[in-house]
Structure 1
Amino acid sequence: MFVTSKDGIKLYYETAGETGTPILFIHEFGGNYDAWEPQMSFFSRRNRCITYAARGYAPSDIPADVEQYSQVLAAEDALAVLDGLGIEKAHIVGLSMGGFATLHFGLRFPERALSLTVAGAGYGTERATADYFRNTSLKVADNFEKDPVGFSKIYSLGASRVQFQNKDPRGWAAFAERLSRHSAVGAANTMRGVQCRRPSFWDLEDELKKMMVPTLIMSGDEDDHCLQPSIFLKKTLSASGLAILPKTGHTLNLEEPALFNSLVSDFIAQVEAGAWNVRDPRADPGQVMRTE
């Protein structure tokens, strides 16, 4: 039930399904490995599914040193899970913090990714709000460090979380309870080491333009700080598609599980059929209407 990262961190994982191509699910800051249960149940009917707890999230190891947390290490941990299970290639699906890890996995290890699903990713990448995001992240880290249970009640009612509460109070309550179990050390170090230090999408533009891994970008239309970053990714990644979920916030896979599963399932089917291609060069974004 554990694999070991390149720097010796034990990562807890669970699997479901015995056949079909593998799918690796990477959770968000506010979740854990068990936040993917609606996807593990659905996709394991036809795929080998894997979910794991990121470093800093029990029952994985929780390093006390903030320098053992970074965006690079997050991508390398995903690779360690695949290596530990003897999986050569997989579809990688990530939400928010996991979406960033998924994107960086594609940049660093494109030969190991059959496809990428980058959902709810973008916080901290907009240059106009970058300083505000970093400062807020440091405050969040301090608050989780002081009182993870008490602060989880505040964090779970963020501007892009209330949509989930309004649609599905029971599901949201389970999310909030899961959040309250975060390690004070793990949550604080994840915020300081990963969230605060990760590069902006705009800083990665040249690398992103070269990446040809089939990618599905997903965002809720009320997840305001993911909308523009998602559009930027769509314009930059040649082999990408963009899905905007209506009246939806940040926790896409739990807030709209049926729609999320349907979109990802269709995407994976197209990739495996060889039908998800790079954008047709005739679709010139500079052209309004053809005149000749």
Structure 2
Amino acid sequence: MSRMRVNGVDLHVEERGTGFPILGIHGTPSSAVMWEGAAATLAHHGRCITYDRRGFLRSGVPATSESVDLGDHVEDARALLELLDATPAIVIGRSTGGLVALEFALAHPSTVRALVLLEPAVFTIDPEVEAWAGGLRRRTADAAAEDPDGAAEAVFRLWLGDAMWESLPGELQAMFARTSPGVRAELDGDGLDLSAHPRRYTDDELAAVTMPALIVAADESPEPLRRVAVRLAERLPDARLAPVEGGHLIDPAGPEVLQFVDEHAAG
């Protein structure tokens, strides 16, 4: 574990294993804490790098800014991999982390060998899902304005259901609550799924993401999240869809992911 200064921000970074680089990008709200078990498994398949994105838990934000944009997260990932001499990498992103991973692959294709997108939060790809997400975003912003420290809990309850939040052990609820500053920064930012102006992709842009991609969707997730995975798998040139059991917190080291990682780390 280490602290690395990236683009004016101190990021909490963890490395495990050796071999081909594998970068894990967590969702919103979350932290590399939620990837510890998966990272330990992935470390048997390559050099696994995980980190807390700017604004979340153990990573900072610039003192001069209260908002975080999609581009900030993309450039942090790029700079981090360059500092670690870890390009190209297989990039795994879950939820909002999947959106960051997709934008990263589009902006810096030479740094990405392959993509794994675990129900990526690319909600503008489908009009009905975009409308659903827009309504939830407004309710999340209202909840965060009323109770800033409860912003992370509001995301869980509004987007994934009360049962998801209440199923979490108390220590995880406390950890997620500490990521509320990151949630608020993304609500005030641009391009993210929680932003008032989320990123929109044209067909030509998606066609330019030509590296192999595995898109994973869980059978118990909210239907809009599963629909996005299907739509994206149809529009990326070299993507395949992998259905799995369970809910939205898909295992970044599930068997289908490990098979994909081994295939592309070798080739």
The match for 2:261 is 268
Correspondence list, 1:146-157, <5 A: 146-150=146-150, 152-157=152-157
Q: CA–CA distance in 1 between the matches of 2:199 and 2:180?
A: 25
User: Quick check: 1:216–1:243 contact (8 Å CA) kept in 2?
Assistant: yes
TM-score by length of 1: 0.78
Q: CA–CA distance in 2 between the matches of 1:159 and 1:68?
A: 21
The match for 1:189 is 185
Q: CA–CA distance in 1 between the matches of 2:217 and 2:117?
A: 9
User: Quick check: 1:93–1:102 contact (8 Å CA) kept in 2?
Assistant: yes
Aligned AA for 2:95?
Answer: S
The match for 2:137 is 137
User: Quick check: 1:138–1:191 contact (8 Å CA) kept in 2?
Assistant: no
Task: List runs of 5+ in structure 2 lacking aligned partners.
Answer: none
Q: CA–CA distance in 2 between the matches of 1:26 and 1:152?
A: 17
1:67, CA displacement in angstroms? 7.2
> Which sits farther off after the overlay, 189-198 or 86-95?
189-198
Q: CA–CA distance in 1 between the matches of 2:152 and 2:104?
A: 29
Q: Which residue of 203, 211, 214 corresponds with 2:209? A: 211
Aligned AA for 2:77?
Answer: A
Q: CA–CA distance in 1 between the matches of 2:5 and 2:165?
A: 36
1:53, CA displacement in angstroms? 0.9
Alignment deviations for residues 88-134 of structure 1 (CA, whole Å, 9 cap, x no partner) = 21111010010001111111111111111111113532323434523
User: Quick check: 1:99–1:121 contact (8 Å CA) kept in 2?
Assistant: yes
Change (3 A) 1:127 1:213: same
User: Quick check: 2:23–2:49 contact (8 Å CA) kept in 1?
Assistant: yes
User: Quick check: 2:157–2:164 contact (8 Å CA) kept in 1?
Assistant: no
1:142, CA displacement in angstroms? 4.2
The match for 1:199 is 199
The match for 2:104 is 105
Q: CA–CA distance in 1 between the matches of 2:205 and 2:155?
A: 33
Percent identity (aligned): 27
The match for 1:232 is 231
- In the alignment of these two chains, the number of paired residues is 260
1:68, CA displacement in angstroms? 4.8
Change (3 A) 1:161 1:131: closer
Q: Bigger radius of gyration, 1 or 2? A: 1
The match for 2:77 is 78
Pairwise CA RMSD: 2.6
DSSP 3-state at the match of 2:30: coil
The match for 1:252 is 250
Task: List runs of 5+ in structure 1 lacking aligned partners.
Answer: 275-292
1:213, CA displacement in angstroms? 0.8
Q: CA–CA distance in 2 between the matches of 1:147 and 1:239?
A: 43
Correspondence list, 1:2-81, <5 A: 2-6=3-7, 8-17=8-17, 19-63=18-62, 68-81=67-80
DSSP 3-state at the match of 2:76: helix
